[in-house]
Chain A
């Protein structure tokens, strides 16, 4: 499965993308406005200077005279580093003073549009050019005189740069703030998801009731799906439980009926050969019954391992019940069977039903395949573990067969009708309880099967 990037990362990425694009647009806009503002500001100076110069034109003794005011230059000098070019043109179109080659980009007689400011190039440098007109109505000199003033763009560019830089700084800070805010908001907004996740994760695996965590409306469908799924899972589990129960009943009842019929049949009325067949039918029926029990038992412990909550239980009590259930009253009276338990009752965290089933199967196995004269069931505990030992004086299982013994239907005595499920059930239960199923090789006392479980050290109610 491809691991999807986290929602947080995705949102963060998109938001930063949007913020980045937004910031770029804003900076561009800021640059545009800064340039416009700088131009406006300095154009005013330029036009002001041009108008002042135009204003300074006068006719003295019949001659057009320009006394360019210093203030006009000082005005332009406010743009400290910019070079200034100017030209005053008299009514005849002759240069009165200034730079002879300075031209207005548009014809000067376009009187509708003065004073005006235009872009231009002078002496190889980009300049802003302002033009102003002075209408003279002196008898000696009449007509239109013009003033052209040009200024390089250094101060404008500097102002544009500075404004843009500052705006960029602001945009950057705002973007950062927005980003940080968005991240916080996303974190906050995603908290319910984490909370929901934690709640589901924390949940007991056997708890299939609907999840009840307060989540925002947007998560309702999600929670709904989880709950719907849990509901279905619950139904399935119920169904499975019912099926096992039903199957148990459905198989057991006819089996019981079958053995009942065999019992009714009786061996007394049969001849020798008939009695032999009768005994074999009886044995096989018993075997079938046992196999059925083990199969169901196996299915049951597996099911319970997944679905039953473990609780502290006394291993002695469980083992004693198993002992009572496993030893039939009709057992061979020549076998000495005993049960031994310590005074301090060791507790384990477990499922009593499964554990009993495990112990029953171990004892049953010993009874059927092991014990000739003696069978001992012992419960004990060390500092960390509690155990149930089943000792019999039978031939036992040689060490090389131990591993196989716990596999299903694997037994060296299959022809004798062993289902071989006994140890498999016990092992299953041991594993589900975090314990082990082990063997101790035959010694003078006999062969031992040990079910070991971790000791429960908590408080017992």
Chain B
């Protein structure tokens, strides 16, 4: 049995940072040259898959053809470490940070690392998705269940968290090792979603966690991995997957199905933040305004994130007609409460608990890979 001490975790994080830094120079940077002669260069640090952002960036460049964009992609925790470090040193990281771990962005803003930005576009942002005009949520992404329709019979498709827990308990053998979720030790989003699950209903979450532990649930670093495995049939069910990635994958894999849970659905909004003192803060603001604008939202809906706050669910998604109106949507408010999520003692404690519940009971599954 492996004991997860804080030091161990810290070591792990640093290892990632090191790897990320090493990678940064080559692998994760994509350059979008200006369509016309270059008038400015915007550097975006993001945790969002390039595939999702690409349509947005290209559409943005149509309206601002003089702007070249360097797009650097990181894991959430990597990006957070880089940004905190940069802020501490007073050397801002890029001109715009995009992260699905809004709690990390919020912490950055709370530490004074963000610049304030107001415009007609920011005024349209819902109150829960704007903190101090510094951190803005620009997507609306439900945390969903995914399943492989060839492997999960229609009668067994879980539609609430309780149903999922019960299913795993009842069909323990069938689903053993076939349920995947985030490894919250590695994934900021996973931690954020799990923490909010725990806040939402402690008992249900406890039951679900226990069921998943018994069913030797598989923890992975990233949404993509789990979804791909579900699509391939290695895993049957994926829990707490980001709707946007899941839907994108479902478009490619016909057997991949999406369920928006009907008891409650956590909704995550990807955050955007302009670092304080950014060199091209104006360009960062310009791109941010684009993301928040009618046009950016419409592009996001059609080819990047698929879900929006207003409007119905995309086709072929099992769930209520309209997430917002159904009342089951629980947006994760971008506000000081996320500081509690970000508290290091809290995090350590929570991850320990989670690990104990999910991993240690099931260490073979963890070590299997």
Interface string of A157-182 (1 = CB under 8 A from B): 00000000000000000000000000
Q: A97 near B345 (CB under 8 angstroms)? A: yes
Interface residue B110 (Cβ < 8 Å from any Cβ of A): yes
Q: Which of B328-352 contact A (CB under 8 A)?
A: 335-341, 343-346, 349
Determine if B169 is an interface residue (Cβ-Cβ < 8 Å).
no
Of A65, A81, A123, A124, the residue contacting B345 (CB under 8 A) is: A65
Judging by beta carbons under 8 Å apart, are B111 and A74 in contact? Answer: no
- Supposing A69-B340, A74-B335, A77-B335 touch, asked if A123 and B199 sit within 8 A by C-beta, the answer is no
Write the chain A residue with the least CB distance to B336: A77
The answer to whether A81 touches B340 (Cβ under 8 A) is: no
Contact B336 A66 (CB under 8 A): no
**B159 sits at the interface (CB 8 A):** no
CB distance from B108 to the nearest CB of A (A): 11
Bound complex: CA A77 to CA B341 (Å) = 14
Q: Which chain B residue has the least Cβ–Cβ distance from A66?
A: B345
Is A65 touching B339 in the complex (CB atoms < 8 A)? Answer: no
Identify which of B110, B340, B349 gathers the most chain A CB atoms within 10 Å of its CB.
B340
CB pair B349 A76 closer than 8 Å: no
Let me know if B254 is at the binding interface, CB within 8 A. no
Q: Render A75-114 as a binary contact track against B, CB cut-off 8 A, 1 for contact.
A: 0110011111110100000001110000000000000000
Residues of B within 8 A of A83 (CB): 109-112, 132
Least CB separation from B109: chain A residue = A83
* Bound CA span A86–B109, Å: 15
Q: Are A88 and B336 in contact (CB under 8 A)?
A: no
Also in contact, A68 and B335, with CB within 8 A (given A73-B340, A83-B110): no
Known: A73-B337, A74-B335, A84-B339. A123 touches B112 (CB 8 A): yes
Tell me the nearest residue of chain B to A124, going by C-beta. Answer: B112
Asked whether A457 is an interface residue with its Cβ less than 8 Å from the other chain, the reply is no
Closest CB of chain B to A114's CB: distance in Å?
21
Write the chain B residue with the least CB distance to A125. B112
Given the known A-B contacts A67-B349, A83-B110, A123-B111, are A97 and B339 also in contact in the complex, defined by CB atoms under 8 Å? no
A74: nearest residue on chain B (CB-CB)? B337
> In this assembly, does A72 line the interface, its C-beta being within 8 Å of a C-beta of chain B?
yes
Indicate if the CB atoms of A65 and B337 lie closer than 8 Å. Answer: no
Taking the closest CB of chain B, its distance from the CB of A18, in whole angstroms, is 43
Is B344 in contact with A74, judged by CB distance below 8 angstroms?
Answer: no
Q: How far is the CA of A98 from the CA of B348 in the complex (A)?
A: 13
Q: Range of interface residues on chain B?
A: 10 to 19
**B111 with A81: CB separation less than 8 A:** no
Residues of B within 8 Å of A73, CB to CB, are 335-340
Which residues of chain A have C-beta atoms less than 8 A from B344's C-beta? Answer: 97
Contacts A73-B337, A74-B337, A77-B336; is A68 near B110 (CB within 8 Å)? Answer: no
Q: Residues of A contacting B336 with CB < 8 Å?
A: 73-74, 76-77, 82, 84
Tell me how far the C-beta of A86 lies from the nearest C-beta in chain B, rounded to whole angstroms: 8
Given A73-B339, A74-B335, A81-B132, CB of A67 within 8 Å of CB of B112: no
Whether A96 touches B335, Cβ cut-off 8 Å, given contacts A83-B110, A84-B110, is no
Q: Report how far A98 CA is from B343 CA in the complex, Å.
A: 7
By a CB distance below 8 angstroms, the chain B residues around A70 are 199, 337, 340-341
Residues of B within 8 A of A76 (CB): 336
**Given A72-B340, A83-B112, A123-B111: A67 and B346 within 8 A (CB)?**
yes
- Asked if A77 and B111 make an inter-chain contact with CB atoms under 8 angstroms apart, the answer reads no
The smallest beta-carbon distance between B256 and chain A, in angstroms, is 34
**Bound CA–CA A125/B111 (angstroms):** 11
Question: B341 to chain A: which residues have CB within 8 Å?
Answer: 70
Smallest Cβ-Cβ distance to B347: which chain A residue: A97
CA distance A83 to B335 in the complex (A): 10
Instruction: Report yes or no: B345 in contact with A68, Cβ–Cβ below 8 A.
Output: yes
Residue of A nearest to B345 (CB): A97
Contacts of B131 in A (CB 8 A): 80-81
User: Would you give the shortest CB distance from B321 to chain A, in whole angstroms?
Assistant: 30
Find out whether the CB atom of B337 lies under 8 angstroms from the CB atom of A77: yes
Q: Which residue of B lies closest to A151 (CB)?
A: B336
Q: Mark B184-201, 1 if CB is under 8 A from A, else 0.
A: 000000000000000100
> Which B residue's beta carbon lies closest to that of A154?
B132
Instruction: Quote the shortest CB–CB distance from A296 to chain B (angstroms).
Output: 99
User: Which residues of the other chain, B, contact A81 by a CB distance below 8 angstroms?
Assistant: 131-132
Give complex CA distance A77, B337 in Å: 7
Task: Compute how far the CA of A124 lies from the CA of B340 in the bound complex, rounded to whole angstroms.
Answer: 23
Residues of B near A123 (CB, < 8 A) are: 111-112
CA distance A66 to B343 in the complex (A): 9
- Min Cβ gap B28→A in Å is 31
B110–A88 contact, CB under 8 A?
no
Instruction: Quote the shortest CB–CB distance from A73 to chain B (angstroms).
Output: 5
Over the window 110-152 of chain B, the binary record of Cβ atoms lying under 8 Å from chain A Cβ atoms (1 yes, 0 no) is: 1110000000000000000001100000000000000000000
Question: Nearest Cβ distance between residue A423 and chain B, in whole angstroms?
Answer: 95
- Residues on the B chain within 8 Å of A88, using CB: 345
* Shortest distance from the beta carbon of A148 to any chain B beta carbon, whole Å: 14
Across-interface contacts of A98 in B (CB, < 8 A): 343
What are the residues of chain A within 8 A of B340 when measuring CB–CB? 68-70, 72-73
Specify which chain B residues have a CB less than 8 angstroms from the CB of A77 in the assembled complex.
Answer: 335-337
- Do A97 and B335 form a contact, CB below 8 Å, given A65-B349, A67-B349? no
**Identity of the chain B residue whose Cβ is nearest the Cβ of A88 in the assembled complex:** B345
Closest CB in chain A relative to B249 CB, distance in Å: 32
Q: List 20 A-B contacts (CB under 8 A).
A: A66-B345, A68-B340, A68-B343, A68-B346, A70-B337, A70-B341, A73-B337, A73-B338, A74-B335, A74-B336, A80-B131, A80-B132, A81-B131, A81-B132, A83-B110, A84-B110, A84-B339, A85-B110, A123-B111, A123-B112
Closest 5 CB pairs of A and B: A97-B345, A77-B336, A70-B340, A73-B336, A73-B340
Further 18 A-B residue pairs, CB within 8 A, beyond A81-B131, A83-B111, A97-B343: A66-B349, A67-B349, A70-B337, A73-B336, A73-B339, A74-B335, A74-B336, A77-B337, A80-B132, A81-B132, A82-B336, A83-B132, A84-B110, A85-B110, A97-B344, A97-B345, A123-B112, A124-B112
